[in-house]
Amino acid sequence: MREAEILALVQERPWAAAPWAQDLVTEFPARLQAVRERWDLTVTGALPAGAGLPVLEVLQGGAGGRSRRAVLKLDGAGAGVDQQARILEAAEGHGYVRLLDHDPARGAMLLERLGPTLAETTPDPVAQTDVLAGLLEQAWELPLEVGASFAPDQKARSLLELVEAAPDQVASSRHGAVLSRARELALSLAASPAPRQVVVHGDPHASNALAREGAQVLIDPDGFRCEPEYDAGVVLRDHQQWIDDLERAEGAGAGRRWHTELVGRLARRLELEPERIAAWAHLERVTTGIHLGRLGYAEESEAWLRTAARVLT
């Protein structure tokens, strides 16, 4: 894959023209060249998912020797790789992708190449939830000291800030009830954190679980300390298309009823509080919509907020 093609992928990101992204885009070619030279990499392709810098498929070595397939990830546009590397190094491949090398000076990680995502191989959201629950049980085994040191109420308060700073076009009357409920839930979660704290993955959805030798492992951990109900809520944050289809086929309220049943199923499996899982799911749904809107993904932002309204309780 030619450097011009890779740079074009960066420049096509909706956020690429934003003032805050100017240095990120300008410095990208030099950063990429530096890590290619350090690790003897040939870029063979780019993975389509993700809102940040493109994640690249690479071959390491091969000049007169043996090459291995790998994945190169650079931080930027919301993705910080240093804490991810800390988590992956501690996990040693248990439930997580294997870390091959880390360059903190250039914000780069070299990772094992995995197979297709859970979203691709297992389209049923209930089956996806069961797989992700098992992966979270493994992820939560990490010792607390490797997690980013968050206060018990910190995540809820950071999401509250996002809700309260929502742009005017999001905070319109169309989304007023959704934002109001998100604010109530954030305040409640911050005021009464759950006593159990673990090193959460932070973004455990079906496109962050990839195949390895007949099983799945997680990628892209945020790796901070929080209550396990938070991770469970993120698992149930998605499913926009599924909920939309249910609403069309079975009428208003069908998506909400299905979502409530799935919350109960996951809560029983992980022995967690369903009310807290549902609260985190709503809060994450809303703040993800706000965040995507800020990055320029207007259509995706609206889909998240629309789903939040449909399952609002």
Write down the pLDDT at residue 271. 97
Rounded to whole angstroms, the Cα distance separating 132 from 116 reads 15
pLDDT at residue number 293: 85
Domain boundaries, the chain: 3-112, 118-310
**pLDDT, block means (10 residues), the chain with 313 residues:** 87 87 90 94 86 89 77 78 94 97 94 95 96 98 94 96 80 79 96 96 96 95 96 94 91 94 97 97 94 85 90 81
C-alpha dihedral sign at 80, 81, 86, 92: positive
Confidence at residue 77, expressed as pLDDT on a 0 to 100 scale = 54
CATH of domain 118-310: 3.90.1200.10
Which pLDDT belongs to residue 172? 61
Per-residue burial over 276-304, b if 16 or more Cβ lie within 10 Å, else e, is bbbbbbbbbbbbbbbebbbbebeebbbbb
Between strands 198-200 and 224-226, the pairing is: antiparallel
> pTM for this one?
0.90
Give the separation between CA 300 and CA 78, rounded to whole angstroms: 17
Rg (CA), the chain: 20
Q: How far is CA 255 from CA 86, 206, 211, 236, 277, in A?
A: 38, 19, 29, 12, 17
Q: What is the CATH number of domain 3-112?
A: 3.30.200.20
